[in-house]
Amino acid sequence: MTSSMFDITIGTLIPARSAKTMIPQLNEKGFECYALDFNGTDPADMDFDRIAEELLPVLDGRHISAMGYYANPILHENDRRNLRALITNAKKLGCPVIGAFAGGNPEKSVPETIGEYKETWEPLAALAEECGVKVGFEGCGGGWHRGCTNIAFCEEAWELMFDALPSPALGLEWEPCHVMEGLGDPIPQLRTWAGRVVHLHGKDCTVAWDLVHRYGTKGPKPLTFNRTPGFGDSNWADIFTILIHAGFVGACDIEGYHDLVHYDDMEWTAQVTALEYLKRCRGGMEYYAGPTEYRGYQGTRKG
């Protein structure tokens, strides 16, 4: 597939339990990779040799870009066990990234939880380094002072986390939506943290600024709405430009199933539309190398 020539491949997030039947259908629409969501399962009890035997043939040249398990490993041994299973077995599927929540202790503030975070993730990070995979923390959640079940939800927490445990195996599974849900601007955040991004979730957001300005943030009205890329407020050409400038090579997998307009029977029409949009934003629909006689004054892009 020519998509491998791009720095960023575009895929979609699908349930691991349905991957065998979904992937052949989605291949036909031009998806280039797949992130597998293992929530609702126990990966530690799965036969990954059998899973690889089932999935690798139906990929038809695509790849598994990430495997995700989003739970609370700080509090629950079973969640740590399941993460260990994904990390250990990732290479069987050719998968380079594990998506996860960092976990949290709802009875403590984020700074008070850092010790438990380090105790939990130090052996998991060492295992990831040994297995040659990255772990990307998804940035959803909240509760700086109390009530947090995923401390990896803001820049201040990332600074504490990566200072406490500076493993090269740990990074971010980033998306603009979670920043915008907190009424932040994702672009300056990404400029600062692009070097830590190991995987992208293709999920966008619309901020209803008219409601923010009229009612503020303390009332009952929802102020932000999850969207499929291309239908929200983000300019994904800007996002991809920042990442490529920072040296990112990896995948952006559309995280659907959240859009307030394009859901149910419109889910996959919207995702295919987002797929085409994101391909254009990353630099092209199909890779075309020539003519090679002249490519401009900038010099060689890659060695």
Report the b/e string of 84-115 with b at 16+ CB within 10 A.
bbbbbbbeebebbbbbbbbbbbeebbbeebbe
Angstrom distance (rounded) from CA 137 to CA 171: 6
Counted domains in the chain: 1
Question: Is 299 domain-assigned?
Answer: no
Q: 195 pLDDT exceeds 80?
A: yes
Tell how strand 8-15 and strand 224-227 pair up. unpaired
Per-residue pLDDT at 303: 67
Angstrom distance (rounded) from CA 219 to CA 232: 23
The more confident residue out of 2 and 292 is 292
Residue 105: both structure tokens together: 């202790």
Whether residue 223 contacts residue 201, with contact meaning beta carbons closer than 8 Å, is answered with no
Q: CB within 8 A of 266, min separation 6: which ones?
A: none
Question: Is 243 domain-assigned?
Answer: yes
- pLDDT tens digits for 126-166? 999 999 999 999 999 999 999 999 999 999 999 999 999 99
Confidence of residue 175 (pLDDT cuts 50, 70, 90): very high
Angstrom distance (rounded) from CA 266 to CA 274: 12
* Cα distances (angstroms) measured from residue 260 to each of 188, 225, 228, 256, 270: 27, 7, 9, 11, 12
Give the rounded percent of residues in the chain with a pLDDT score beyond 70: 99
Whether residue 271 contacts residue 256, with contact meaning beta carbons closer than 8 Å, is answered with yes
Question: Is 293 domain-assigned?
Answer: no
Question: Is 35 domain-assigned?
Answer: yes
- pLDDT tens digits for 206-265? 999 999 999 999 999 999 999 999 999 999 999 999 999 999 999 999 999 999 999 999
| Domain enclosing residue 276, as ranges | 2-282
Question: Is 191 domain-assigned?
Answer: yes
In this prediction the pTM is 0.96
- pLDDT tens digits for 39-56? 999 999 999 999 999 999
Question: Is 125 domain-assigned?
Answer: yes
Q: CB within 8 A of 262, min separation 6: which ones?
A: 228, 231, 269, 270
Question: Is 119 domain-assigned?
Answer: yes
Q: 196 pLDDT exceeds 80?
A: yes
Q: Where are the beta strands (DSSP E) in the chain?
A: 8-15, 33-37, 63-69, 97-100, 134-138, 170-174, 197-202, 204-207, 224-227, 250-254
Angstrom distance (rounded) from CA 35 to CA 4: 16
- pLDDT tens digits for 9-29? 999 999 999 999 999 999 999
- pLDDT tens digits for 53-70? 999 999 999 999 999 999
Maximum Cα–Cα distance across the chain? 63
Question: Is 300 domain-assigned?
Answer: no
Mean pLDDT of the chain: 96
Per-residue pLDDT at 298: 87
- pLDDT tens digits for 63-102? 999 999 999 999 999 999 999 999 999 999 999 999 999 9
Q: What is the CATH number of the domain that holds 255?
A: 3.20.20.150
